Each structure stands twice: as structure tokens, then as C-alpha cells.
């Protein structure tokens, strides 16, 4: 069961493709692989911590005020991340900009709190958070890899092609973000459909 909780986020319901939540950070920070992976790791941290704490406090939280309590818990961990990246990973802090405080309103985190952590045990919530977070990190890193490769011809800042390479700058900008993620979604839908028709 634990393995199932963990792997659900990695393929079956991988955010942001299967679970179409958290689009804004996905669009905004994936112009480089570093930005994508950095955002993924920060989100994973918040997701795991908030899932665990919410699951621990589950018997105490009154259902009527649960959303407000969830938001306060999530915001607290986001402030941790904000201060930690500012202190120890300043380049990442600058790269992600206002999207670090905006982890608070990433629907994946509130969604998992509401749909999973508020109903399940601590250990299961931990693995659910870890799986979802790692799935999100993986997606963001792959999108970032593709957009950085095409948009600036580099991987994590290292030039890959010779000086004659002309990068498609559009891929690193907003239109590239929307179109890449739209195509990824369509590919995932296509895979699903093929699976269903084989069954």
C-alpha cells in the first residue's frame, strides 16, 4: 500500500500533467533545467512537511476551519523555504523570484492536504507527499531540460553546441512555455488513449 502511495504521484497521477494543478510555477520557472528542478525540490519539501503535519494534527483540526489551518501550515513551511534559499542558495532564490512565496497558492499542495493528508495516516501521507513532489520535480526538470536545450542551447548553463548554433529564443520565453506544456499534455493524453484502446 505504501509503495502504491509513493508511485501514484510518479506516473498514474503525475502533476502537473495527469493532475492539472500548479500550472503557474510550471510555466514560469522551466526556462532552465536548474529553475525547474529547484522549484520542484522546494515544492517537494513544502508538500512533504505540510502533509505530515496536517496528518498529525488531523484529529485536532475542526472541519469547519480546516482550509484556513491548512493554508497557515503551508505558508509557514513556505517561509522556511524562502529564508533557507535566501541564506544558502541565493542564485536559486533570485532565479525563482516571486514564485517561491507563491508556492503557498500552488493547488497541488492544498489539494493533497485536502484530498489525502486530512484522511490518512502520517506514514502514508509522507509517502504520498514524497511521490507527488518527486513527480512534480521530474516533470519540471524534463520540461526545463527541453526548453533550455532548444531555447538557449545549454544544459544547466553549460553550452552544448558549437558557436554556430542558433537557439530558438522563443522556447525560453512565454510562448515556448505554453506550447511545450500543451504538447506534453497532448502526448500524455495520447498515451492514455492508446492504453485504453488496447485494453
142 or 170: CB nearest other proteins:
170
Q: How far is the CB of 195 from other proteins (least distance, A)?
A: 12
75 or 155: CB nearest other proteins:
75
Q: How far is the CB of 3 from other proteins (least distance, A)?
A: 29
37 or 73: CB nearest other proteins:
73
Burial 77-102 (b: 16+ CB within 10 A, else e): bbeebbeebeeeeeebbebbeebbee
Query: Vertex 113, ends 75 and 193: CA angle to 5°?
Result: 125
Residues 6+ apart with CB under 8 A from 62: none
155 or 185: CB nearest other proteins:
185
Length of the chain: 199
Q: How far is the CB of 12 from other proteins (least distance, A)?
A: 18
Positions in the binding site for other proteins (CB under 8 A): 20-21, 23-24, 27-28, 68, 71-72, 75-76, 78-79, 82-83, 98, 101-102, 104-107, 110, 170, 173-179, 181-183, 185-187, 189-190, 193
Contact 33, 141 (CB under 8 A): yes
Q: How far is the CB of 43 from other proteins (least distance, A)?
A: 13
| 138 grid coordinates | 521530474
| 76 grid coordinates | 509557514
Output Rg (C-alpha) for the chain, integer angstroms: 18
71 or 155: CB nearest other proteins:
71
Q: Which among 28, 38, 31, 37 is positioned nearest to 148, based on CA atoms?
A: 31
Amino acid at each position: 500500500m505504501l509503495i502504491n502511495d509513493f508511485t501514484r504521484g510518479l506516473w498514474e497521477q503525475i502533476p502537473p500533467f495527469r493532475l492539472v494543478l500548479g500550472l503557474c510555477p510550471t510555466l514560469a520557472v522551466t526556462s532552465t533545467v536548474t529553475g525547474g528542478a529547484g522549484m520542484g525540490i522546494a515544492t517537494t519539501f513544502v508538500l512533504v512537511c505540510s502533509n505530515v503535519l496536517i496528518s498529525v494534527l488531523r484529529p485536532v483540526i475542526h472541519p469547519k476551519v480546516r482550509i484556513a489551518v491548512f493554508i497557515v501550515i503551508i505558508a509557514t513551511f513556505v517561509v522556511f523555504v524562502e529564508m533557507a534559499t535566501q541564506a544558502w542558495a541565493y542564485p536559486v532564490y533570485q532565479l525563482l523570484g516571486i514564485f517561491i512565496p507563491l508556492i503557498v497558492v500552488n493547488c497541488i499542495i492544498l489539494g493533497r492536504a485536502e484530498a489525502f493528508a486530512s484522511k490518512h495516516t502520517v506514514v502514508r501521507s509522507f509517502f504520498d507527499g514524497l511521490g507527488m513532489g518527486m513527480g512534480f520535480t521530474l516533470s519540471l526538470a524534463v520540461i526545463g531540460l527541453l526548453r533550455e536545450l532548444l531555447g538557449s542551447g545549454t544544459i544547466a548553463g553549460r553550452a552544448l553546441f558549437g558557436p554556430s548554433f542558433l537557439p530558438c529564443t522563443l522556447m525560453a520565453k512565454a510562448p515556448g512555455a505554453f506550447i511545450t506544456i500543451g504538447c506534453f499534455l497532448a502526448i500524455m493524453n495520447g498515451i492514455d488513449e492508446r492504453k485504453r484502446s488496447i485494453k
